[in-house]
């Protein structure tokens, strides 16, 4: 089946640092989504991207839909402690057979540097 490669798997941040993570796929997606999951909770949507090349911001978060439609990145600027958590990318197809099903990456875990 389709797979998304999300990297890095984990990273440590210091307050104020910028953070980057990305997802790549061998498949073409029509929508890219970025979610954040806090412990004990469900994923919460951060940014949705619908067009190749689209660059969208949500506060300190910026995400881009790659022009090949096979990749996306998420940047967090000037990180703060509440940014810790697990970030998931998800690609969504819109062909007749998939009914909008999401394919998830394995997540990037953000932790605070000790």
Query: Applying CB under 8 A, which residues contact another protein?
Result: 1, 4, 6, 30-31, 33, 35, 40-45, 48, 50, 88, 90, 92, 94, 96, 98-102, 104-107
d(CA 81, CA 74): 17
Q: Please, which residues bridge with residue 27 across strands?
A: none
Give the shortest CB-89-to-another protein separation in angstroms: 9
Give the shortest CB-107-to-another protein separation in angstroms: 6
Give the shortest CB-77-to-another protein separation in angstroms: 23
């Amino acid at each position: 089946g389709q797979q998304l490669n999300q990297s890095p798997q984990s990273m440590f941040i210091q307050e104020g640092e910028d953070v980057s993570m990305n997802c790549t796929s061998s498949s073409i997606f029509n929508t890219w989504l970025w979610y954040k999951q806090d412990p004990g909770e469900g994923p919460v949507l951060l940014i949705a991207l619908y067009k190749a090349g689209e660059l969208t911001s949500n506060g300190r978060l910026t995400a881009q839909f790659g022009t090949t439609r096979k990749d996306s990145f998420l940047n967090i600027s000037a990180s703060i402690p509440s940014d810790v958590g697990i970030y998931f990318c998800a690609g969504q197809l819109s062909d007749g057979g998939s009914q909008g099903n999401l394919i998830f990456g394995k997540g990037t875990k953000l932790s605070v540097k000790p």
